[in-house]
């Protein structure tokens, strides 16, 4: 019996979206399938105190060895996908928890003399068209709503025979929810046509019927037949309510594999939904190492070859349509090759709109979740973190374990608004409270090497100053003072120094960082650089890089730290640039802050109109008094005389303010 705590996912890893989850045993067999409006809330309930669980739930979670989930777009999609997988895998605990009934379908018995609309479960019957599955409540509501527009027979054979003998219809015939073919109100042929219209509507032709009813409603209004127009209006509302758009269930003739990918520089998480007969029949995912220097089109080409070329029975596994977010390289030849394997035509397309594009969004959400889960589990696993740190220590020939790593990145646009970031990793995990940002100006902003030298110098000068402050503190941190109290430790802006400094760049950046440490007399901190192009690890005063295997956990850790430093630097740079790039003469007006500037421009519409305004007109703007109006008028007049009233421009958006 397994311990649920050994496979319990972290709460932060579980999405809050609706979805379907599967518990698997140690052999990979699915033993339970369930659905949830909120996956995080539902899955956490399975890992509560065992004493609070029902006996069957307790047995299931202790039998399972892993749990997986698939996010979908709505609760309805979750229900349908749950049903599909319960039917396909017949999980043992689903059979124990549920009764022996199947999910209900809306069925139309087209083979009968008078076709009948009914709710059906169990095995499918020949000559009957099925739509669904639905929940029990939803299917009754759907059927009741549609019968007012398509009054197809819904009574049992006994009720039908009794009505035929008596010549009187049942209650549904009297309230116009049945066309009453039993008493000849409608012919057999017309009733079958009505049943066919019902099937066409449920099969996806709702727009045609709704458009027809809307046209009839307009004609009724034109003829001043408002009662008929009101009835048609109600019918239109009913049809629109029933035909709720569903991104999971497509038309019944749809057989397609729908792919999506979430990727970074090194890895790609691919997800595919197998749609057969308009229903999702399965899901599969991969996290693959990307081919170096390969484009997205080449990635899809390689994936198609591996997915379909290795199938033992390609004819049964290759669908008519393969939907991708981007056409693969040589897609015409690839489609021809797949068509030969399938012994039928295969089309490779990129859905642009409609149900298939919406379903691809759902697949994309699953790919995104798979990538996040993959990364968090790799980063969060203690064994993996320990292996990564040990690999780095051995590869760099360092004498001490890497308890703390700091990574630095420089960000700017053509030498303007130069900033730097410092991110911190302790024991292989990010410590965001220790992150720092640096603004770089003057000679230090000349180039990346000067900036890197400046940042490293400033960081470790602060550290040395804090060390001196601690040494001079009386009483010393952590010691007992004269009053018998334990003194609070002196807390600085920077914690203890790292074992390893990582810089984003190659030899120039590494040498600049190493020189900064040497100039400060710090010799016990190692420095390396991670170059983006080939992911080489550079060390100071070396003509050759350290090459780590692409599958190395140590390299993955360095890449993750480097990417986090880059993200942090970019975020700071954009914020700084956004504040600095709005140029306006209004900034020089004393007492005119951002809020009043915004109100002034909103009142007049542009800076040009503000310039043309008189003192009285300026005073009419919200928050602008006589003194401030005079200051604005004076500043704008002086500015116009000085530079010909050059326009003010928001350099972030490119918007001309006047």
Q: Where are the beta strands (DSSP E) in 333-471?
A: 347-349, 404-413, 416-426, 429-430, 436-439
**pLDDT higher than 50, residue 242:** yes
Radius of gyration of the CA atoms of the chain, in A = 35
Give the ranges where 204-319 is alpha helix by DSSP (H).
206-222, 226-242, 296-309, 314-317
Distance of CA 32 to the CA centre of its chain: 26
**pLDDT higher than 60, residue 318:** yes
What's the CA angle centered on 641, arms 638 and 647, to 5 degrees? 90
pLDDT in tens, 46-86: 888 777 777 667 878 888 888 999 998 877 677 668 767 87
Domains of the chain, earliest start first: 4-97 (3.40.1440.10), 105-204 (no CATH), 256-377 (3.30.420), 399-476+490-563 (3.30.420.340), 585-656 (1.10.150.20)
Mean pLDDT of 315-342: 81
Indicate if the alpha-carbon torsion angle 347, 350, 355, 359 is positive or negative. Answer: positive
pTM of this prediction? 0.40
**pLDDT higher than 50, residue 379:** yes
Reported residue count of the chain is 658
- What is the b/e burial string over 160-185, where b = at least 16 CB atoms within 10 angstroms of the residue's CB? beebeeeeebbebbeeebbbbbbeee
Least confident of 83-87, 101-105, 245-249, 582-586: 245-249
pLDDT in tens, 335-364: 887 888 788 888 999 998 888 888 888 888
Cα–Cα distance between 129 and 110 in angstroms, integer? 7
**pLDDT higher than 60, residue 476:** no
Mean pLDDT of 622-650: 67
What's the CA angle centered on 570, arms 564 and 572, to 5 degrees? 105
């Amino acid at each position: 019996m397994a311990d649920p705590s050994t496979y319990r996912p972290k709460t932060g890893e579980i999405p809050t979206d609706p979805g379907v989850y599967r518990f698997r045993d140690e052999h990979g067999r699915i033993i339970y399938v369930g659905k949830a409006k909120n996956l995080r809330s539902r899955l956490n309930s399975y890992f509560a105190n065992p004493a609070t669980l029902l006996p069957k739930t307790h047995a299931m979670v202790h039998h399972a060895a892993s749990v997986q989930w698939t996010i979908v777009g709505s609760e309805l999609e979750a229900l349908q996908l749950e049903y599909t997988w319960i039917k396909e895998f017949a999980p043992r605990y689903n059979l124990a928890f549920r009764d022996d009934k199947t999910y209900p379908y809306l069925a139309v018995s087209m083979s009968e003399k008078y076709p009948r609309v009914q709710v059906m479960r169990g095995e499918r019957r020949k000559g009957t068209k099925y739509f669904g599955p639905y929940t029990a409540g939803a299917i009754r509501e759907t059927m009741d709503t549609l019968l007012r527009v398509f009054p197809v027979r819904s009574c049992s054979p006994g009720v039908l025979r009794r009505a035929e003998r008596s010549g009187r219809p049942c209650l549904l015939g009297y309230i116009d929810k049945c066309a009453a073919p039993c008493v000849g109100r409608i012919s057999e042929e017309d009733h079958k046509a009505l049943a066919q219209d019902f099937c066409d509507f449920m099969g996806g032709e709702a727009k045609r019927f709704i458009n027809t009813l809307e046209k009839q409603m307009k004609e009724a209004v034109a003829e001043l037949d408002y009662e008929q127009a009101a009835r048609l209006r109600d019918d239109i509302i009913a049809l629109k309510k029933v035909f709720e758009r569903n991104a999971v269930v497509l038309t019944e003739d749809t057989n397609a594999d729908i792919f999506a990918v979430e990727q970074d520089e090194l890895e790609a998480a691919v997800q595919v939904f197998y749609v057969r007969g308009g229903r999702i029949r399965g899901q599969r995912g991969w996290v693959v190492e990307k081919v170096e220097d390969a484009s997205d089109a080449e990635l899809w080409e390689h994936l198609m070859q591996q997915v379909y070329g290795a199938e033992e029975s390609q004819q049964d596994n290759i669908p008519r349509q393969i939907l991708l977010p981007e056409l693969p390289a040589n897609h015409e030849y690839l489609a021809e090759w797949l068509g030969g394997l399938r012994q039928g035509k295969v089309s490779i397309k990129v859905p642009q709109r409609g149900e298939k594009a919406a379903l691809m969004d759902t697949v994309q959400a699953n790919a995104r979740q798979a990538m996040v889960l993959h990364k968090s589990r790799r980063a969060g696993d203690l064994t993996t973190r320990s292996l990564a740190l040990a690999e780095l220590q051995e590869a760099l020939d360092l004498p001490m374990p890497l308890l703390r790593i700091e990574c630095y990145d420089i960000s700017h646009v053509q030498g303007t608004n130069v900033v730097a970031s410092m991110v911190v990793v302790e024991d292989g995990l990010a410590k965001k409270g220790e992150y720092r940002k640096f603004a770089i100006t003057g000679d230090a902003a000349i180039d990346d090497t000067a900036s890197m030298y400046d940042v490293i110098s400033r960081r470790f000068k602060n550290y040395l100053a804090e060390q001196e402050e601690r040494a001079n503190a009386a009483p010393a941190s952590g010691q007992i003072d004269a009053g018998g109290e334990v003194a609070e430790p002196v807390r600085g802006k920077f914690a203890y120094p790292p074992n390893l400094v990582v810089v984003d760049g190659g030899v120039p950046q590494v040498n600049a960082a190493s020189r900064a440490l040497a100039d400060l007399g710090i010799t016990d901190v190692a420095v390396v650089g991670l170059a983006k192009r080939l992911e080489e690890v550079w060390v100071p005063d070396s003509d050759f890089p350290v090459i780590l295997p692409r599958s190395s956990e140590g390299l993955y850790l360095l890449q993750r730290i480097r990417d986090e430093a880059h993200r942090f630097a970019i975020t700071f740079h954009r914020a700084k640039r956004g504040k600095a790039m709005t140029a306006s003469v209004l900034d020089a007006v004393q007492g005119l802050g951002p809020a009043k500037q915004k109100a002034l421009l909103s009142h007049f519409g542009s800076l040009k109109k503000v310039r043309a305004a008189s003192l009285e007109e300026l005073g009419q703007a919200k928050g602008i008094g006589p003194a401030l109006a005079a200051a604005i008028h004076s500043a704008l007049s002086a500015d116009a005389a000085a530079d010909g009233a050059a326009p003010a421009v928001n350099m972030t958006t490119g918007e001309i303010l006047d």
